[in-house]
Amino acid sequence: MDTNIIRQKADRKDFFPLSVLLVLFCLRVAGQLLVVLYQVPFLPPMQEWQSGLLPYSVLLALQVLIIGTFIKVCRDFYAQDGFFYEAKAALAEPLMTFGKAYVVLNAVRLLIWQTAFGHHIWFAGIIPIVFHFVLASFLIIVAAHHRKELIRRTSALNAVLNDLQPQAIKQ
């Protein structure tokens, strides 16, 4: 089998989880919008969807910006080309550090929420916490891709440089 096809299939493996996380986040934004516009009875009430730190109009604008960015990331990962796909050292470590810190902070937030409101955690205020884990997961997957590609490129470059060295130096 062509190694390019094998590599292409392996590289596309990140596209699926990123797409799933994007769809989940879109459903979350759509759900809250349905509650705001139509007060649909089959979804939790407005106070369950956000912490209240930001006015909904600002939150919605930020969510739309996040969705647009995530769509671009997914498109780049599908095409295996573009700004978000091409490995960048400037993105790998900062995204991974931020993503991991984001997970830890949300775990602490969840622990505090569980301690304070444990008797009804699944019914009150859990939606924002869960979807912050979705966002953090997206960042970590992108960062891991960049790390993996940087390591692969470095290994390939080292192999080429090693092959270029004269035999006397190798021995």
pTM value is: 0.84
To 5 degrees, how large is the angle CA 53–CA 27–CA 50? 15
Sorted by sequence, the CB contacts under 8 Å of residue 53 that are 6+ apart come out as none
pLDDT band at 47 (very low <50, low <70, confident <90, very high): confident
With a cut of 80, say whether residue 8 has pLDDT above it.
no
Residue bearing tokens 């470590």: 93
- DSSP per position, 122-161: TTSSHHHHHHHHHHHHHHHHHHHHHHHHHHHHHHHHHHHH
Q: What is the domain partition of the chain in residue ranges? A: 3-170
Tens digit of each residue's pLDDT (9 = 90 or more) over 80-97: 999 999 999 999 999 999
Tens digit of each residue's pLDDT (9 = 90 or more) over 53-70: 899 999 999 999 999 999
User: To the nearest 5 percent, what fractions of the chain are helix, strand and coil?
Assistant: 80, 0, 20
To 5 degrees, how large is the angle CA 37–CA 41–CA 47? 65
**Average pLDDT of span 128-134:** 94
CA–CA gap between residue 61 and residue 133 (Å, rounded): 20
